[in-house]
Amino acid sequence: MTEISYEKLLDKISRTSGLEKEEIERRIEAKRAKLSGLISKEGAAQVVASELGFAFDKEKIKIDELVSGMRKANTIAKIIKIFPPRTFSKNGKEGKVANMIVADETSNIKVVLWDVNHIELIEKGEIGEEKTVEIVNATMRGNELHLGSFSELKLSKEELNEVKRDKAFREKEISEFKLSDNASTRAFIVQVFEMKEFNVCPECRKKVVLEGDQYLCVEHGKVSPEKRNLMNVVIDDGTETMRTVMFHDVLQSLAHSKEDLLGKEMIFSGDVRLNKFFNTPEFIVESVKEPDVDEVLKSLEEKE
């Protein structure tokens, strides 16, 4: 959840109920206190909304208003990317899952399809990229919208022309990071490791392996590899530290030496993934930028 999404949720509840935002927040904190803090801020907001007669299952929600834990969420969005369905095995049974990215004018989000009827719509070409769809009765799990057998996925006649196609990163503190998050955080680099060099396929940019005197790509066979760099750093935002990986393109955009990076404050955006070797989460950075002083001050003022 981002603070922006939470604020938009408060605005929507306030407009519907006629109550001031301050009163709604007071009720949210009272609800959390009653439950000994076992419910999240956004979860408590949904309970309060329900008590005030605001039903999410009867509302169309913009993507940037979706918050973690939301159930029976409905939205209309354009499909901007579909990934091929894949099979999996669980408890001796085979199943299918498909992922796609949908967008509206406010943001974009990953949608996970578990129902075979929904997946068939993709396989038969009945829905595809650049089509506008209506999603009904979905569930927010972290930063993803999940559709099960009780959800609906259908074409919509509504036209969405301008949508947010750039990958959406949600502002979070490191202590809130969860696996699969697409997150953005402002933090200091507190530890820097030596840069490492590796070889990739010039076609797909995936890592290649050396067999004898030839480099082999799983997809493209024998290739003349391109050299790439990566660097591991540890970042700290005051709530927690996390091991972070920056690859070739990000390192080139930094244009800083190892010594210059230590102690530097930056805004990091990327994905939280599992490092299978250490079995711990790590942050794969896709972009970095220096904080804008005016934006930082504005953010601090909003939190007061």
pLDDT, position 101: 94
pLDDT, position 304: 54
Average pLDDT over residues 164-176: 87
d(CA 104, CA 161): 9
Q: Which residue, 168, 184, 214, sits at the end of a domain? A: 168
pLDDT, position 254: 80
| Total tally of structural domains belonging to the chain | 3
Provide the residue count of the chain.
304
For residue 236, pLDDT beyond 90:
yes
190 falls in which pLDDT band (50, 70, 90)? Answer: very high
Across-strand partners of 87? 96
d(CA 76, CA 67): 16
Q: Are residues 78 and 163 in the same domain?
A: yes
Q: Are residues 41 and 162 in the same domain?
A: no
Q: Which residue, 168, 196, 225, sits at the end of a domain? A: 168
Q: Are residues 160 and 212 in the same domain?
A: no
pLDDT, position 7: 76
What CATH number did the domain enclosing 106 receive? 2.40.50.140
pLDDT for 66-77, tens place per residue?
Answer: 877 788 889 999
Q: Are residues 236 and 112 in the same domain?
A: no
Place of tokens 């959840």: 1
Q: Are residues 136 and 32 in the same domain?
A: no
For residue 240, pLDDT beyond 50:
yes
Q: Which of 70, 267, 106 is nearest to 173 (CA)?
A: 267
Q: Are residues 219 and 286 in the same domain?
A: yes
Q: Are residues 239 and 217 in the same domain?
A: yes
d(CA 79, CA 104): 9
Q: Are residues 64 and 47 in the same domain?
A: no
d(CA 206, CA 228): 11
Q: Are residues 262 and 286 in the same domain?
A: yes
Structure tokens given for 231: 């660097």
Helical segments of 131-257, H only = 248-254
| In contact, 243 and 227? CB cutoff 8 Å | no
Q: Are residues 250 and 284 in the same domain?
A: yes
Q: Which residue, 22, 38, 54, sits at the end of a domain? A: 54
pLDDT for 241-284, tens place per residue?
Answer: 999 999 988 888 886 667 788 999 999 999 999 888 889 999 99
pLDDT for 111-146, tens place per residue?
Answer: 999 999 999 999 999 999 999 999 999 998 877 899
- Give the domain extent around 37: 1-54
1 falls in which pLDDT band (50, 70, 90)? Answer: very low
Q: Are residues 121 and 190 in the same domain?
A: no
Structure tokens given for 111: 């949608």
- Considering 1-15, 34-48, 153-167, the range whose residues carry the highest mean pLDDT is 153-167
Residue type, 252: Q
pLDDT for 28-78, tens place per residue?
Answer: 899 888 887 677 777 788 788 878 776 666 778 889 888 777 888 899 999
Q: Are residues 282 and 177 in the same domain?
A: yes
Strands of the 209-211 sheet, one edge to the other: 209-211, 214-217, 221-223
Express as a percent the part of the chain with pLDDT over 70.
Answer: 91
103 or 19, which is more confident: 103
| In contact, 284 and 273? CB cutoff 8 Å | yes
Mean pLDDT of the chain: 86
